[in-house]
Amino acid sequence: MTRPIHRRGFLNRAVLGGAAAGLSLGSSRGSASAAENRMVVAVLGTSRGRALAAGFARQAGVEVRYLCDPDLERGEAAAAFLAERGVEGCRAIADFRRALDDSAVDAVVVATPNHWHAPATIMACSAGKHVYVEKPGSHNPHEGDLMVRAARKHGRVVQMGNQRRSGPVYQEAIEMLRNGAIGEVYLARSWYNASRTSIGRGRPAPVPPNLDYDLWQGPAPRTPYLDNRVPYNWHWFWHWGNGELGNNGVHALDACRWGLGVDFPVRVTSSGGRYWFDDDQETPDSHVVAFEFPGGKQIVWDGMSCNRKGCGFVTFYGSGGSLALDGTGGYVLYNEGVEESGRDKGPLGDDEHIADFLAACRGGDPLSVSAEIEDAQRSTLLCHLGNIAHRTGRTLNCRPEDGRILSDDGAMAYWRRDYEPGWEPTV
């Protein structure tokens, strides 16, 4: 690549994240200051949560005390995984509410299935904990509103795991857009491709003895246990998940919205469906969604769950060229169709994102990359609107002030969900 563009304003956090990444998981940096700023963390969910626990353990002055999973075997396996890497003392527990009752716990990492994201965040805020919640920020739009209210009511730091916001080279690229590198930016196109296999047909089966299925369901209305839902395929059922759009599309949509500088759409259209396998999956495996925004701007997301070959991550188009973010933390800038400059692979922002969260929890600057829950829910809302447009088969017209669907009671019925009696989240 030629003519590398220098970063402006991001070096301090990049240095912090890079230094953290170089430590072994069990090490401690700056022992005196670490002791003064020690934070105790509980991690909820040990699929994605295992990697997040390791990431938090890499940071100075952090104790990962609890690994919470209603499948205790998975929690114990995560504790063993961390112990092998030098992180001692992590306790595997089935019921995360025990961690909320521990006054020494400062922050909770919510890496549960999506239907638990909002209820667990709200419960943690109410218990006085800060929250790092994985994407998507909520299971439905109503819950997103509740999460913001909970953060404000209890004065807690709540950050979503849209860590690409903290990728230093991505930040550099977005700053270039802000400075007019491709002129007036009007369109962002994004892609996600995977090679998922069929989930087959679920059969009734005894609940495994190591799984507290009632707790796993939590706020979701009760359904019989079938053998192809837990621990991962819940993603593809509306009852618990948000399909590929909420699972991975949220990363791309967040980057698109960040680069375009937009908030809420005025029109949303969707096409796609289940094209690959005849199985139990409810959510589309092939999905294209378009979002139109005020000021003549648009985002398009193209997701293919069952075909790995495809395009890159996000490309922005403007009046003077285009800029492509790749999926490995780099970018390429084009001017009138000619490759002009760029940056190769860089950090995707995982460690930097966690460091930013911890700094805010410790009373430093507010979250500095717009990953705070109110802004993050705007990106999550795009996922919800795309899925609602798919489920209704209709174009959605939305209020530009807050994205609320206009003149369509049927579509608004998806704005919130039903809850198991006694489990509805409240603020």
Please say whether the beta carbons of 240 and 228 come within 8 A: no
Judge if 151 and 178 occupy the same domain.
no
Same domain membership, residue 266 and residue 310: yes
C-alpha–C-alpha distance, residues 326 and 324, integer Å: 6
Supply the pLDDT for residue 370.
62
> Amino acid identity, residue 404?
R
Whether residues 291 and 388 fall in one domain: yes
User: Does 180 lie in the same domain as 88?
Assistant: no
* The pLDDT of residue 343: 83
Assess whether 59 and 185 both reside in one domain. Answer: no
Per-residue confidence (pLDDT) for residue 29, from 0 to 100: 32
DSSP state of 245: I
Rounded to a whole number of angstroms, the CA Rg of the chain reads 21
Q: Which amino acid is at 1?
A: M
CATH number of the domain that residue 189 is part of = 3.30.360.10
**Strand ranges for 166-241 from DSSP E:** 185-193
359 lies in some domain:
no
Q: Is residue 20 part of a domain?
A: yes
Residue 104 lies in a domain: yes
Same domain, 48 and 193: no
- Domains in the chain, number: 2
Residue 32: per-residue pLDDT: 37
119 and 217 together in one domain: no
Residue 15: which domain range? 11-161
Say what angle helices 48-58 and 350-361 make with each other, to 10 degrees. 60
My answer on whether 55 and 192 are in the same domain is: no
- In a domain, residue 425? The reply is no
Q: What is the pLDDT of residue 344?
A: 83
| Whether residue 107 is found in the same domain as residue 29 | yes
Q: Is the peptide bond before 4 cis (omega within 30 degrees of 0)?
A: no
User: Which residue from 350, 377, 427, 339 is spatially nearest to 158, judged by alpha carbons?
Assistant: 377
Q: Is 422 a domain residue?
A: no
> Quick one: CA torsion of 402, 180, 251, 242, rounded to 10 degrees?
40
118 lies in the same domain as 255: no
**Which of these, 10, 16, 14, 64, lies nearest to 39 by C-alpha position?**
64
**Residues 80 and 42 grouped into a single domain:** yes
Average pLDDT per run of 10 along the chain, which is 427 residues long?
33 30 34 66 97 96 98 97 93 98 98 98 98 97 98 97 94 95 96 96 98 98 98 98 97 97 98 96 98 98 91 93 92 80 87 94 76 95 98 98 98 98 96
- To the question of pTM greater than 0.85 for the whole model, the response is yes
The CATH number given to whatever domain includes residue 120 is 3.40.50.720
What pLDDT, on the 0 to 100 scale, is given for residue 327?
Answer: 87
Position 253 in a domain: yes
156 and 273, same domain (yes or no): no
